[in-house]
A and B are shown apart, each in its own frame.
Chain A
Amino acid sequence: MKRVVIGLGALAMAFAVTPSSAQEKLIVSTWGGNWKDGAGIIAKEFTKRTGMEVEFITGGTLDRLAKAKVAKDNPESDVTYTTSHVGYLYQSDNLFEKLDMSKIPNAADLYPAGDRGGYEMGVYSYVYTPAFRTDLMPEGFKVDSWKVLWDKSMEGKLGLPDFDPSHIVIASSIMEGKTPSDWESVTDKLEALKPSIKAFYQSDATSQDLIRTGETPVQVLLSINGYHLIEQGVPIEIDIPSEGAVVGIGALGINAGTKKLDAAHEFINVALDPAIQEQLCEFHKCSPMNQKAKVSPELAKLPGIFTTPEQWEKEAIVLDDETYAKLLPLWKIWFTENMMH
């Protein structure tokens, strides 16, 4: 009995110690895998500058939003790494603190796309764009326009994300000379894409599996995943169609109710530091948000890597977060009801 009591006491001590040590750390919510490793680059520099350790909690984009909503006044994390339009949902539900820009001096040098409205800061950008297996498609094949995806030769070859139809909806709207807000006028065009679609992928992992195995030799693919696969030796070409590629922005926001406001601001400031931006973009093969960041010529020449205002102007399709966040659920519902079954 005595042993049991001592054991329980030790266990209670262990639990009691954990929260106090956690208080010394900045808790950052992020995605797992490669994304967490990328966030680790920021964390390393942050710890070097402040002496404060960073602890990550990981999960999917929407799972983490759901958790933040449940936790509301008692946030699990101090900083959240998410996609900018999902960041808008955090913001609209008062889950993000208003940023104090005087504490983020590096924000002054960002491309306009980096400014996400005062509650979150864009850290890097990537594109969702057509990509294909060069060994499984005819020689000379190129997706120089999104229209190619509708071609009869594409029948049963295309993979699209099931969690986010925004890219194909936005591209279809622009292709038809409309704005994404007029998407309802291009639903016929979208339905005409059905024969091309072989499967919908549910995550980065299944996206990579589908193109690696050749199940969907053509995909609307997250550029970062494409470059990751190319590094692994999968023969993939990533194209930027003439209409442009749909930009996604990885953003950082500060969880409302955090007790570490200053440290959280500093974390964002570190993330926007030109040197860290360079490391981050070399790691993920993404575009920096800080105009002063100088990425290597090898990275700069890759499709979907934007390093000049002209590229942002000509090749990037950027939608504001509010429109994106409000239309995405409607697109999603329409897509589920009309395209997926």
Chain B
Amino acid sequence: MMMTQQRPFFVPFLVPAVLVAVIFAAAMFNVFQYSFLEFIPGSVEVGGFTLDNFTRINRPVYYWVLLDTFLLSFATAFFALVLSYPISFALVRAEKNWVRSVLVVLAITPLFTGEIVRTYSWMLVLGTDGVVNNTLKALSLIDASIPIMYTRAGVVIALVQFAMPVMIILLATAISQVKRDCEKAAANLGATPNTVFWRVTIPLTMPGILSGFVVVFAWTMSAFSTPQLIGGGKVLMISNVVYLQGFSSFNLPFAAVLSLIALGAALGSLGLMKLATARFERNLATA
């Protein structure tokens, strides 16, 4: 009653979230049920109760796919952070309006093109006869094309570009909250610009850095079309394996098990990251 009086819109605003949560829970329950059902080759119907789908998961290939998913997501979040920070910084601190406008357009426009379009563009850039290889050849830096497509590096490059607009928005918000007085005070006390940046600005934007990292990491854990097209079946993330098992083989029960594991891995990773983040913030506060 007290809560309703203090926040009159709390309950109505909560309704959509609850609805989404209920639908999600119902869908996941369905997936959970499927994971215990028998796969019948040559049929789209499933059989009776079985635990075989869970024993099948105990194969090295699935551990490798999970590890790859984790590493690719981590690398994507890391490089997106490193590349986005200077852009966000310039975006917030640029003195001229037109510079800010250009940066906003350059940084955010990719969000308005679809994932498939962007991935196809990267295929043209990273291919054997693509822009990167042709440029390197024209500069006589390489004699023959270097393989970028169908490699982990190629997948990470495309995923980083995909994630950067979101990372830039999150970092720009955090950087805009930093009081310039703090930086000026540090400078007045003799800190070099380098020291101010590393000892004042970065720590003060740490909440944005951490949330950006976590968001991009979680987002990338479920990446599908980019690893599918750039990876060309040679680099598989967990979503690709779910698709291959579920829609190519029609082994929906096993795809259900993989989906549950993917969800568990994502939640587990996020939980660990949350713990690490909390610890990091505590250390920062006491430093």
Query: Judging by beta carbons under 8 Å apart, are B247 and A63 in contact?
Result: yes
Q: With A69-B44, A89-B43 in contact, is A340–B229 under 8 Å at CB?
A: no
CB distance from A165 to the nearest CB of B (A): 9
Interface centre among A92, A162, A333, A341 (most CB of B within 10 A): A341
Least CB separation from A62: chain B residue? B247
> Main SS of chain B's interface residues?
loop
Binary interface encoding of chain A residues 303-341 relative to chain B, with 1 for a CB under 8 A from any of its CBs, else 0:
000000000000000000010011111101100111011
**Any B CB within 8 A of the CB of A141:** no
Segment 24-83 of A: residues with Cβ below 8 Å from B: 62-63, 65-66, 69
CA of A66 to CA of B248, assembled, Å: 11
Decide: A92 and B43 in contact? CB cutoff 8 A: yes
What's the least CB distance linking B235 to chain A, in Å? 8
Are A162 and B244 in contact (CB-based, < 8 A)?
A: yes
Tell which of A181-189, A196-204, A275-283 binds the partner: A196-204
Size category of the binding interface on chain A: 35 or more
What's the Cα separation between A189 and B273 when bound, in Å?
44
Q: Contact: A332 with B149, CB < 8 Å?
A: no
Distance in angstroms from B241 CB to nearest chain A CB is 7
B127-A92 in contact (CB<8A): no
Structural contact, B236 and A329, CB atoms closer than 8 A: no
Measured in the bound complex, the distance between the Cα atoms of B249 and A326 in whole Å is 10
Check if B234 is an interface residue, CB within 8 A of chain A: yes
Q: Is the CB of A93 within 8 A of B61?
A: no
Contact of A97 with B by CB under 8 A: no
Q: Which residues in A have their C-beta under 8 angstroms from that of B236?
A: 336, 340-341
Complexed CA–CA distance, A113 and B201 (Å): 73
Given known A62-B250, A162-B233, A201-B232, contact A214–B129 (CB-CB < 8 A): yes
State how many angstroms separate the Cβ of A190 from the closest Cβ of chain B. Answer: 15
Given A92-B43, A199-B150, A215-B64 contact (CB < 8 Å): no
Asked if B190 is at the interface of the complex by the 8 Å CB criterion, the answer is no
Question: B44 touching A65 by the CB < 8 A rule?
Answer: yes
B59 within 8 A of A: yes
B248 contacts A164, CB within 8 Å? yes
Within 8 A of A (CB), among B242-280: 244-245, 247-251, 254
* Residue A267 interfacial (CB < 8 Å): no
User: Which bracket fits the contact residues of B?
Assistant: 20 to 34
Q: Does A191 contact B (CB under 8 A)?
A: no
A93 touches B241 (CB 8 A): no
Instruction: Choose one: A69, A92, A327, A336; the contact of B241 (CB below 8 Å).
Output: A336
| Inter-subunit contact B248/A162 (CB<8 Å) | yes
Per DSSP, chain A at the interface is: helix
Contact B42–A336 (Cβ < 8 Å): no
> For the complex, what is the distance from the CA of A325 to the CA of B249, rounded to whole Å?
10
Is B39 part of the contact surface with A, judged by Cβ < 8 Å?
Answer: yes
- Contact with A327, one of B41, B64, B129, B234 (Cβ below 8 angstroms): B41
Give CA–CA (A162, B236) in the complex, Å.
12
Q: Which residues on the A side are within 8 Å of B45 (C-beta)?
A: 93
Residue from the list B39, B43, B61, B250 in contact with A341, Cβ < 8 A = B61
Contact of A330 with B41 in the complex, beta carbons under 8 Å: yes
Within 8 A of B (CB), among A171-225: 197-202, 206, 209-210, 213-215
Assess whether A88 is interfacial by the CB under 8 Å rule. yes
Is B65's beta carbon under 8 Å from chain A? Answer: yes
> Of B129, B233, B244, which is within 8 A of A332 by CB?
B244
Report the minimum CB–CB distance from A321 to chain B (whole Å).
Answer: 9
- Give chain B nearest CB distance to A327 CB in angstroms: 7
Chain A residues whose CB sits within 8 angstroms of the CB of B44 once the complex forms: 65-66, 69, 89, 92-93
Residues from chain A with Cβ under 8 Å of B245 in the complex: 332-333, 336
Q: A336-B245, A341-B65 are in contact. Are A200 and B42 (CB under 8 A)?
A: no
B128 on the interface (CB 8 Å rule)? yes
Q: How far is the CB of B229 from chain A (nearest CB, A)?
A: 7
Cβ proximity bits A159-173 to B, threshold 8 Å, 1 near / 0 not: 000111000000000
Interchain Cβ contacts under 8 Å between A and B, 10 examples: A69-B44, A88-B42, A89-B44, A93-B43, A200-B233, A325-B41, A328-B41, A328-B249, A336-B249, A337-B61
Interface residues of B (CB under 8 A from A): 39, 41-45, 59, 61, 64-65, 68, 123, 127-129, 147, 149-150, 228-229, 232-234, 236, 241, 244-245, 247-251, 254
